[in-house]
Chain A
Amino acid sequence: MSEIEQTSRSSTYDYSSMTGGRTMETFIGALFGVSLLATVGLGVTFWLGGQPQIEGALLFVALAGIGVGVVAWGKYLTPHGPFVQEREELKSSDVDRDAFYKSLERGTKVLGRRSFLGKMLGVSLGAFGILQLFPFLRSLGPVPGKSLYVTDWKNGSQVTKVDGSPVTVNDLEVGGAMTVFPEGFIGNAVDQVILVRPSNFNLVTRPGRETWGPQGYLAFSKVCTHAGCPVGLYQELTQQLLCPCHQSLFDVLTGATPVFGPAPRPLPQLPLSVDTNGVLRSQSGFNEPIGPGFWERGNG
C-alpha cells in the first residue's frame, strides 16, 4: 500500500487507545479459545453418543465465542470513522438514456415492420403454454366430480367400530359417544361418523328425520362443516359436540345444529336402523355433502 492521505480534525491523534486495545485483544483471544474448547467438547459428546442438551449448549458456546469475538474485533479494533461516502444519483444521465432509446428503437423498428410475425409468435407461444398446462393439471389429480357429494355409507352399511366389530344396540350407554365407520372403510377420513346416545328428553327431531335415530342412537358426520376437523369432543352434560380446532359447538338435541363458533351448517345426520340381530345399520348415505363448503355446492 502506498502512502496515504488522511483527513482528520487535528494532528493530536491519541494512539494510546490502540495500546489500550491490548485488553480487548486478550478478551477476543480468550473468546476464540473458549469456542475451541466447546468444539472439542462437542466432538467428545458426539463420540460418546450425543445428548441434545449438551450439544445445544456446546454449539451455543462454540458459535457465540466466534461470533462475539469477531464482532468485538470489528467493533473495537478497527477504525470507525465516521466514514462518509457520496450517493451517486441512481438515475442515468440524459445522454445515456437517449443512447438507450436509440439502441432500443433499432430493434423495435426492424421488428415492428413485421407485426404479423409478432402476433403469430404470440399466438403460438400462448397456445403452447396453455396446452402444456392441461396434461400437467390433469396429471396432478382427478377432477372432483361427485366425490365431494358421496361417502361410503350406503343403504344397509353396517355401523362398525374402529376395531372392526359391529355396533349393536347395547354397545353405547345413554350419554356415551363413539366414532364409527361403514364396514370395510375403517379409518376413511370422509366416512367418519360420531355416534351419540343422548339422554333423550327434550330431543327435537327435525322434520323428516323421525325414524333416523332408533333407540336414541343419533349418528352425525364427524367432519366439521367449518374447516373439516374431526368434531372430536362430546360434552355429555350439555349434549353438545365440540370441534377443538375453532371451537364450533353443535347441539345434538336439535340435530347437531351449530350454536356457537364459526361453523355455518349442522353436521349432516346419518339415518340409522337396527337389523334383526340388533346391529346398527345406515338406512342410506348422507342426504347432503359432508364437511366444509365449496363453490359448486348450492343449497346450505
Chain B
Amino acid sequence: MDKRVEKTTDWLDERLGIAKGARSSLNKIFPDHWSFMLGEIALYSFIVLLFTGVFLTLFYVPSSQPIIYHGSYAPLRGQTMSEAYASTLHISFSVRAGLVMRQMHHWAANIFVAAIVVHLCRVFFTGSFRKPREINWIVGSILLILAIVNGFIGYSLPDDLISGTGIRIAFSIVESIPLVGSYLAFFLFGGNYPGNAIIPRFYTIHVLLVPALIVVLLAAHLGIMYHQKHTQYPAPKRTNKNVVGSVLWPTYALEAGGFFFITAAVIAALGGLVQINPIWLYGPYIPYKVSYAVQPDWYMGWLDGALRLMPSWEIVGFGHMIPNVFFPAVLLPGLTFTALSLWPFIEKKITKDDQVHNICDRPRDNPWRTSLGVGILTFYIVLFFASSTDVLANTFNTSLNFVLWTFRILLIALPPVAGYVTYMLTKETATVADAGLRKGPVVITRSEDGEYSTVVTDDDSSGADVNFELIEVPEEREYRQVVEGNETDRELVGVSESSPSGDNGGVSHKKATAQRSGGSGIFRIPRNLPGGGGLFGGRGLKRQQRDAQER
C-alpha cells in the first residue's frame, strides 16, 4: 500500500476508527439494472440544482420594490418592474454564463421532479416499497412533495407576468382552505394580495428552508437504502437473502460518479441550447395584465388541469363557503399525497403480506397492482393534458366547450379502461412461458415450397441454464476467513434458496471452490466473466449465460 495512503488512513483511523466501516463500504455490492439509475438521475439533478442555484443567488435580488429598468435588454428599458424581475433580466443578459446557469437551473428542476416521478413509478410497479422499505417510501413521497413545492416557488421568483399570475392563483388556493384559509393566505403574503412580502419570503423558503429539508431527507433516503441494501430483480441465483451485482470500489463508484457527469452534461446542453422560460418575452408582472396560453411547469400541469375540469360548484351554507378551487387544488392533492405516502400500508391491509421482500416484482407478475397503478396514473395523465385545453382548442380549431367536455369524460372513462387493458395484458403475458426472456439466436430456413421455419440454434431458450458462478468479493472473503477462522466450507450466501420466480428451480448449485491464484488484487479477475458489458447496464441474463457456456 502506498505510504501516503497508509499515513492518512492511520491518522484518520486513530481518531475516527474508519477502516472497518470503509472496508465494508468498499466491498459493498450494488445490483445492476438500468431502472435503478432513475433515482440517481434525481440525485444528480439535485446536485446540479445546488451548484447553479448558488450561482444565481449571487445576482438575484429578492425584492418586489418597483424600479425603472435601464439594463441591457432594450425592449424593456424605461418600464417599471420589480427588482426581482430586473435582476433576473440582469442574470440573463449581463452576467457571464448567467443565462446558461439560469436555464440549467430551470431544466434541472424539471428533470429533478420528472426523475423522482419515474423513479416512484419504478418502485411502485416493482413492489419495492414492501417490507422492509415502507419508511423509505414515505421519505421518498415527502421528497416528491418538497420538490414540487420548491419547483413552483422557484418558478415564481423571477416575478414575470406568467409566474405572477401563478402566485395570484396560489393565494386563491390557500385562501380557499376552510376555516383558516384567509388567515393562512394573509400570514403567508403579509396581508391581502399582492403585498410586497411574498417574493422575499418565497426566496427564503426556496433557497434555505426546503433545500435543507430535501438534503436531510435525501440523506435519510440514501442512508436507509444503503443500510437495507438495494432490491434486485428475480433471476437465477438471486435470492431474497443475497445481493448480486457490481462491487462499490471501483466499479460502482466509477459508474455512478461518471453518471453524475453525464446527467450534468445533458442538463448543460439543454441549458445552453434549448430555451426555457424566456421571461423577457413575458414582461414584468402587473396585477391587471395577463398572458394568453398560460401553462405552468410540467409538474403543476395536473393541478392546473384539475382546476380547469372542475365543474363550477361551490358549497355555501350556514354562513360559510367552501370555494370551488378547494376541491381540485387542496382536496385532490391532499388525498393524492396521503394515499401515495400510505400506499405500502394500504396494500398490506389488502394482501396481508408481512414477508420481507428483497426481490422486486416484475410488473406483469402482479396484475392487480400493475393495473391499478396504470389506472391511477392515467387519471393524472388526463389531468396533465387537460391543462392545455386552450392550446388544444386553438391548435385543432375546435371549441373550448368540446375540448373541456372531452377531458371531463376521459377523466372518468379512461382510467378504468386503461386499468382493464393492463390487467388483461398482464394475464395474457402470464400464460406465455418465456415472456420477457430474451430470445436465443435462431436460424430461419425457407423450404422449397416457400414455407419459412425457425430453428433455435441451441438450448438457450429454456432459461434454465445457470451455469455461471457468483463470486464473493475476494478481499471480503479473505477478511471473513481471517476474522471467523478458516471457514472455507461456508456456503456461498443464499444460493441454496431458490428465487421466487422459480427460474433456477431444479438446478443444483455447485459449491464455489476456493482457489489460490498466483496474483493479488481484484483486477486479476478477468473481464470476460458474466455480468459485464454494455455502457448502461449489466449484460442481459441470457447473454451472461451464453458467455458462460461458450467458455
Residues of A within 8 A of B (CB): 1-15, 17-18, 20-21, 46, 49-50, 52-57, 59-64, 66-87, 90, 137, 140-144, 147-148, 162, 179, 187-190, 192, 222, 226-230, 232-233, 244-249, 258, 260-265, 291-300
Contacts and interface: CB of A to CB of B under 8 A. Distances in A.
Interface stretch (B139-147, B238-246, B335-343): B238-246
A75 B311 CA distance: 55
A77 B527 contact: yes
A189 B194 contact: yes
A238 to B, nearest CB: 11
Contact of A63 (B265, B473, B515): B265
B394 to A, nearest CB: 11
Interface in B155-205: 165, 168-169, 171-173, 175-183, 185-195, 197
B520 A14 contact: no
Given A71-B254, A80-B246, A63 B182 contact: no
Given A7-B477, A60-B268, A190 B316 contact: no
Contact of B272 (A57, A75, A230): A57
Given A74-B252, A293-B321, 17 more contacts: A6-B517, A56-B271, A73-B254, A73-B258, A75-B534, A79-B251, A79-B526, A81-B244, A85-B229, A85-B242, A147-B191, A190-B193, A226-B307, A230-B288, A292-B324, A293-B322, A295-B181
Contacts of B229: 85, 87
Contacts of B261: 63-64, 66-67, 70
Nearest to B535: A75
Interface stretch (B15-23, B290-298, B415-423, B429-437): B290-298
B182 A148 contact: yes
12 contacts: A1-B475, A6-B515, A13-B526, A14-B528, A52-B272, A55-B272, A84-B470, A90-B228, A148-B182, A226-B307, A247-B400, A295-B320
B138 interface: no
B406 to A, nearest CB: 14
Contact of B529 (A4, A62, A82): A82
Contact of B475 (A4, A70, A228): A4
Contact of A53 (B253, B259, B272, B323): B272
Contacts of B318: 298
Given A63-B265, A141-B187, A292-B323, A46 B97 contact: yes
Contact of B469 (A7, A52, A292, A298): A7
A76 B529 CA distance: 11
Nearest to B291: A244
Nearest to A298: B319
B532 A75 contact: yes
A85 B472 contact: yes
Interface in B217-234: 227-229
A291 to B, nearest CB: 7
Given A8-B471, A9-B469, A228 B172 contact: yes
A68 B192 contact: no
B187 A140 contact: yes
A64 B192 contact: no
Contacts of B100: 52, 55-56, 59
A12 B548 CA distance: 12
Contacts of A260: 400-401, 404
B290 A84 contact: no
Contacts of B250: 74, 78
A85 B29 CA distance: 6
Contacts of B551: 10, 12, 14
A17 B176 CA distance: 67
B280 interface: no
A84 B494 contact: yes
Contacts of A233: 292
Interface residue range, chain B: 35 or more
Contacts of B516: 3, 5-6
Contacts of B524: 4, 6
A218 to B, nearest CB: 17
A74 B251 contact: yes
Nearest to A262: B310
A263 B311 CA distance: 8
B28 to A, nearest CB: 7
Contacts of B209: none
Contacts of A162: 288
A5 B514 contact: yes
B236 to A, nearest CB: 10
B524 to A, nearest CB: 7
Contacts of B528: 14, 17
B54 interface: no
B526 A298 contact: no
Contacts of B268: 56, 59-60, 63
Given A50-B97, A260-B400, A57 B323 contact: no
A147 B192 contact: yes
Interface string B25-62: 00111000000000000000000000000000000000
Contacts of A52: 99-100, 103, 272
Contact of A144 (B182, B265, B271): B182
B68 to A, nearest CB: 15
Given A189-B193, A226-B325, A262-B307, A57 B269 contact: yes
A61 B495 CA distance: 44
Interface in B465-500: 468-478, 481, 492-495
Contacts of B254: 70-71, 73-75, 78
